[in-house]
Structure 1
Amino acid sequence: MNADLPVAPQWFRLTELDERTTLIEEPHVRPLLRANAWHLRGRDRDLLVDCGLGVTALAPLLRKRFGREPLLVVTHAHLDHMGSAHEFRQVGAHPLERVGDPVPGSLLGPVLAAQMGLDAPLPPVLLTAVPHHGYDPGAYRVRPADGTHPLTDGDHVDLGEHTLTVLHLPGHSPGSIVLFDEHDGTLFSGDVIYDDVLLDSLPGGDPQQYAHSLRRLRSLPVRLTRPGHGSSFGRNRLHHLIDGYLACVTG
């Protein structure tokens, strides 16, 4: 299937943003599913926030690049954020997210649209290239993550010199979480907030919960948001996005 798609010379793109933060992207994925993963270098251990689609292996690349496997935190169990979770030995997620029994997902647009309840048509295939010869996008399925440990509101992820706080902010999905570094004001937001139309009508979404979560998020001293999709942004843009959503929900 889809043998006409070119083979990508390199599937992942890694961009070092500062001495401890690396952005991991899959540039050959179409925009709907093109998500960010964030690797944080720590003194005692590394952290990976989300892990992409799982089209091809990510964990071996990170072990080679950074010399050790990170703790993976999955912000929520949608396919573009947990696809590679089965590769990692340490996986944290909220108990309400189905990381151990995920929705199968699909790289075929019509199949995924039916799973997600989307009315708008999607492209036939949600990739613009394949990772290797013989890869069949139609055979893609999200695999369950084993040995997941629960992360709930107020938990902490300690990397040594930095500790991030887990916040449970449902609305996009029942168990959506973010990670907030109170030391420098950096927020790793998953799909709770990003610079685009916020989705609250996917299976498990809840506009009223979402509004409550965003009001809570607005009260935090966030300096920089590292979202699950698109570019990072500062405090003013964060407030603008939140206020825009709240205005629509409250009418």
Structure 2
Amino acid sequence: MNDWFTIEKIDDDTYAISEYKHWEETHCYLLNGTKNSLLIDTGLGVGNIKKVVDKLTDLPVKVITTHVHWDHIGGHKYFNDIGVFEAEKDWLKIKFPIPLSSVKMNLLKEPCEFPEYFDMEEYRIFQGEAAFLLHENDIINLGDRNVRVIHTPGHSPGHICLYEESRGYLFTGDLIYEGTLDAFYPSTNPYEFMNSVKKIKELAIKRALPAHHKLNISTDLILEIDKGFTELYEAGKLNQGNGMFFFENFNIHI
């Protein structure tokens, strides 16, 4: 369907749109309802994700931002109806917290066969005003589907997870995935990260859908990450600058 994106079917109404060719291996998610569709994040901005979305739905599309980091808002430029959590509205509208030069360095961090149409010189970080702001426990209604906003700060101040209780889906953003969990930037908070993991641990989750790397992860990973953060906290190590800690299925960088 597209030479950059990979589309995987979660169920008849839900798709993962992934960028496996890049080291970030980002996942965006399209949820189709009866009245409208929801796109969770828009990825790196290397390819035109809207062309993929348009082949999977003809309904109006709302874009929800799990957090305002460059690798999750790259395709926002192709959409108008964009929502962001209130704590990060200024990151989207006024000033992204990382300079463009650093973003480009991250984009090129590992070898990647970018598509021929991609021009690194023209690459820009999305900047614009959100069409609507999100708040804790807001419900996004798609007609026959309801998705709840859960504020899960730590990786960023306005990071959110999205919970579809009827299907047991938790779209975890950068809170839960197999890889290195980052809480070392000045805008991160490892203690809040730990508490956010404890918060979502209490939900009835049948499937955790991450924003990076391996798509099919066990819900037990949530318990493993909770245990990892708790061990670091109890050992007095949950402070920024302490470096990288390695666990079986993930790392924690603080």
TM bin, normalised by shorter chain, reads: 0.7 to 0.9
**2:131 aligned with 1:148:** yes
Among the aligned pairs, what percent are the same residue? Answer: 26
User: What residue is the counterpart of 2:5 in the other structure?
Assistant: 12
- 2:38 is matched by which residue type in structure 1? L
User: What residue is the counterpart of 1:132 in the other structure?
Assistant: 116
Q: Aligned match of 1:79 in 62, 70, 86?
A: 70
Deviation at 1:125, TM superposition (A): 4.8
Deviation at 1:123, TM superposition (A): 8.5
Q: Aligned match of 2:14 in 21, 25, 29?
A: 21
**2:80 aligned with 1:89:** yes
Does structure 1 retain, via aligned residues, the 8 Å contact 2:20–2:26?
A: no
Aligned partner of residue 144 in structure 2, secondary structure: coil
Deviation at 1:113, TM superposition (A): 8.9
Write the distance in 1 (CA, Å) between the matches of 2:109 and 2:121. Answer: 9
Deviation at 1:103, TM superposition (A): 4.2
Tell me, which stretches of 5 or more residues in structure 2 are unaligned? 236-254
TM-score with structure 2 setting the length: 0.82
Deviation at 1:196, TM superposition (A): 2.2
Q: Aligned match of 2:26 in 28, 32, 35?
A: 35
Does structure 1 retain, via aligned residues, the 8 Å contact 2:35–2:59?
A: no
Decide whether aligned partners of structure 1 residues 46 and 139 sit closer, same or farther in structure 2, where only a CA change above 3 A counts: same
**2:43 aligned with 1:52:** yes
Q: Aligned match of 1:168 in 136, 151, 158?
A: 151
Q: Which has the higher strand share?
A: 2
Aligned partner of residue 148 in structure 2, secondary structure: strand
Deviation at 1:210, TM superposition (A): 1.1
- 1:20 is matched by which residue type in structure 2? D
Decide whether aligned partners of structure 1 residues 49 and 124 sit closer, same or farther in structure 2, where only a CA change above 3 A counts: closer
Does structure 2 retain, via aligned residues, the 8 Å contact 1:50–1:82?
A: yes
Decide whether aligned partners of structure 1 residues 246 and 198 sit closer, same or farther in structure 2, where only a CA change above 3 A counts: farther
Does structure 1 retain, via aligned residues, the 8 Å contact 2:14–2:32?
A: yes
Q: Deviations over 1:2-21 (max 9, x none)?
A: xxxxxxx7011111221011
- 2:93 is matched by which residue type in structure 1? G
Does structure 2 retain, via aligned residues, the 8 Å contact 1:104–1:142?
A: no
- Most deviating of 13-22 and 150-159: 13-22
Decide whether aligned partners of structure 1 residues 123 and 40 sit closer, same or farther in structure 2, where only a CA change above 3 A counts: closer
Aligned partner of residue 36 in structure 1, secondary structure: strand
Decide whether aligned partners of structure 1 residues 127 and 77 sit closer, same or farther in structure 2, where only a CA change above 3 A counts: farther
Query: Which 4+ runs in 1 deviate beyond 4 A?
Result: 103-106, 122-127
TM-score with structure 1 setting the length: 0.83
User: What residue is the counterpart of 1:117 in the other structure?
Assistant: none
User: What residue is the counterpart of 1:3 in the other structure?
Assistant: none
Deviation at 1:39, TM superposition (A): 0.7
Tell me, which stretches of 5 or more residues in structure 1 are unaligned? 1-8, 115-121
